A and B are shown apart, each in its own frame.
Chain A
Amino acid sequence: MNAAIAQEYSGAPTGAPVYELTRVSKTYARNSVVALEDVSLTLRHGSFTSVIGSSGCGKSTLLKIMAGLIPPSKGRVILQSEPVTGPRRDIGMMFQQATLFPWKTAVENIVLPIEIRDGKAAAKNALEKAHELLDIVGLKGFENVYPNELSGGMAQRASICRMLITEPAVLLLDEPFSALDELSRDMMNMELQRICIEQDATAFLVTHSIQEAVILSDDIVVMKPRPGRIAEIVKVDLPRPRTLDMMTTPKFGEIVDHIRGMLDKGEEM
C-alpha cells in the first residue's frame, strides 16, 4: 500500500501477535453501506496502536467488531489464537464517558466486571486487587467514594481500573479522554502510557486528535471514509517513554503534518 508500512525502525514492537484481523469487511445490508472494507491489522504484544480518520471512516465499527459487540460481514478476527465470536474477558474496553454507576462506590464499580462474570463472592475477593489498581492510577483514598464526588479525570482513572481488573490481553480505548479538558487530557495520556508499560498491555485507541495519536502510539492506522478502509499505517519511531516535551520536536511535527496531509486528502474523496 505504502512504503511507510515496510519501513523498519528501532522502536518497533517486537512482541508476538496478540490480535489479528484479516480482510475484515462490514456491510450494513439494509442500506448497503460499506462501513469497512478489507481491513487487515496486527497488534503485537505490548504495542500501542491508534486509529484516526474523519467521521464515517468506520473506526467505531472496527472497534465494535474487535470488541466482539458486532460480527463482521467478512473476514477473520483472532485474539490470542482464538476467533472472536462475542464479548470476551480478555478484552478490556473504555469509552468516552467514564460510565461509572452512581449507586456503587469507586471500588465496587471497579470489581463490577468480576461480579458480572463470576458472581458476588469473586468480586469480594477482587477487592484487594481493585485497591492496588486505584493506587496505581493515583486514586488511593478514594476507594469508598461515590462517583458523584469524583472529577471527570478521576472518574476516567477509575474506569481504567475497571478495564484492567480482569487482566485483559488487549485494551480497546474509544476516545477515552476526549470529554476532558486539554490539560487533564495530556496528563491522562501520560498516565495511560505509564500504565500500559507497567502492565505490559497491548492497546488500541480510537481518537480524533492527531497529537494524541502520535504521542502515544507505535503504529497509527489512518483510515479513509466511504468505504472505510486503511489509507496508511504510520510508524512512530519516537523513543519511549514519551514525554509531553516531545510534542515540540521537529520529528513529532513531521509525523503530525504527514497524517494531517493524508486526512485532508481523505476529505476530498
Chain B
Amino acid sequence: MTDLHTNKPADTVTDEDTVWVQEIAFIDSVPRWIAMTFVFVVFIGTWQLVTSLGLVSPIILPTPMETLKDMIFVGTNLLSGGYMLGALWITIKEVIYGFALAIAIGFSLGVLVGETAFGEKAVMPYLVAIDTMPKVAFAPLFVAWLGFGIESKVALAAFIATFPIVVGTAAGLHAADENARMLFKTMGASRMQTLIKMKLPTGLPQIFTGLKIGAVGVMAGAITGEFLGGGKGFGELIRVAASQLNTPRVFSLILYLSLVGLALYLIVQWTQRKVVFWHKERVGAGDY
C-alpha cells in the first residue's frame, strides 16, 4: 500500500525522514528593538569609556551623564515655555514655510521639466547646473537680500529642499510605462487627463522620495541659515552654546532639533502610506 501524497510506502513515513532542516540566521530571530537597543548600549558604553578614561577633554566630548543632565534642563525649559521654546518655534516656522515653498516651487518646476519638451530641453540644464552648486554658499546672498529675519532662513531652506522635489517629480512623471501611455491614447485622453489621472499617480512613489530628501534638506537649510544669518532660532542657541564651549548644551540642542527633523520626515512618510497605499517601499528605514 502506498500513501497518495508522498508516493512512498505508507508505513515508512516517519519524522526520521527529515534529514535537512532550513537553518535560520541568528539575526533573523532577534526582534528589531532588541537589536537597536544593543547598538545603543554599545554606543553609550563606548562613549562613557572614552570620557571616563580621560582620553578626550571634557570640553570636546562631555560624558553621557552630563549630556543627559543638560537634556533634562533643556527639556524642562521647553516644556515650561521658556526662551528655548520661542527659539524652537521660530526654527519650526522656518522649516514649515521653507518646506511649503519648496513643495510649491519644486512640484511646479518638476511638472514643467517632466511633462513639457520645452522644460526638459531648455530649463533642465539650468536646474542641473544650479543643483551642482554648493547651495549653502548662497546664504550670505539671502541675508543680503532678505535681511536677518526668518525670511532669509526660509529662503535658504526652500532653496536646498526644492531640487530633490523637482527631480522626484520629473522622474515620477517619466515612470509610466509605454503600455499605460498607449492605453490612455486609445481612450482618447487629453494631455491634462493623462497627466492627472495616470502620470501623476504613477509617479507618486518617486515624488514622495523627493519630498523625503527635501524634508531632510529643509532642516539643514534652516539651521545653516541661522548659523550664518543670526536671528533668534534654535541654530542661534547652538551657535552661542558652542562659542561658550558649552558642549553638553550643543549636544542636547542637536538632539531636540533632530526630533523636529524626524517628526517632519515621519509626517511625510505617514502621508505617503495613506496616499500611495498600493506601493510597498522596498528600501527604507523600516517600521517606526
Contacts and interface: CB of A to CB of B under 8 A. Distances in A.
Contact of B184 (A89, A97, A116): A116
B278 interface: yes
B183 interface: yes
A93 B278 contact: no
B103 to A, nearest CB: 21
Interface in A59-77: 67-69
A146 B278 CA distance: 8
Nearest to A146: B278
A124 interface: no
15 contacts: A69-B182, A86-B188, A87-B187, A88-B188, A91-B186, A93-B186, A95-B183, A99-B179, A101-B201, A102-B278, A103-B276, A112-B187, A116-B184, A116-B193, A148-B278
B180 A99 contact: yes
A113 B188 CA distance: 8
Given A97-B179, A99-B180, A116 B185 contact: no
A117 B193 CA distance: 10
A211 interface: no
Interface string A215-241: 000000000000000000000000000
Nearest to B197: A116
Given A68-B186, A95-B179, 9 more contacts: A67-B186, A86-B188, A89-B188, A101-B202, A102-B278, A103-B201, A103-B276, A112-B187, A116-B193
B279 interface: yes
A69 B185 contact: yes
Contact of B189 (A69, A102, A116): A116
Specify which of B186, B277, B279 lies most central, judged by the most chain A CB atoms within 10 Å of its CB: B186
A93 B179 contact: no
A87 to B, nearest CB: 5
B186 A103 contact: no
A160 to B, nearest CB: 13
Contact of A102 (B183, B193, B197, B279): B279
B198 interface: yes
Interface string B259-286: 0000000000000000011110000000
B195 to A, nearest CB: 12
A172 to B, nearest CB: 8
Contact of B188 (A87, A146, A147): A87
Chain A contact surface mostly: loop
Nearest to B189: A116
Closest CB pairs A-B (n = 8): A102-B278, A99-B179, A116-B187, A93-B186, A113-B187, A87-B188, A116-B189, A95-B179
Interface residues of A, number: 24
Given A146-B278, A148-B278, A101 B186 contact: no
Contacts of B182: 69, 93, 95
A145 to B, nearest CB: 12
A99 B178 CA distance: 10
Task: Tell which of B183, B185, B198 has the most Cβ of chain A within 10 Å.
Answer: B183
A40 interface: no
Contacts of A102: 278-279
A196 B182 CA distance: 23
A69 B186 contact: yes
B200 to A, nearest CB: 10
Contact of A96 (B179, B186, B189): B179
A116 B179 contact: no
A24 B265 CA distance: 57
Interface in A96-114: 96-97, 99, 101-103, 112-113
Interface string B155-196: 000000000000000000000010110111111110001000
A97 B180 CA distance: 9
Contacts of B185: 69, 87
A99 B188 contact: no
Contacts of B189: 116
Contacts of B278: 102-103, 146-148
Contacts of A103: 201, 276-278
A107 B202 CA distance: 19
Contacts of B197: 112, 115-116
B202 to A, nearest CB: 8
Interface string B54-71: 000000000000000000
A209 B202 CA distance: 32
A96 B179 CA distance: 8
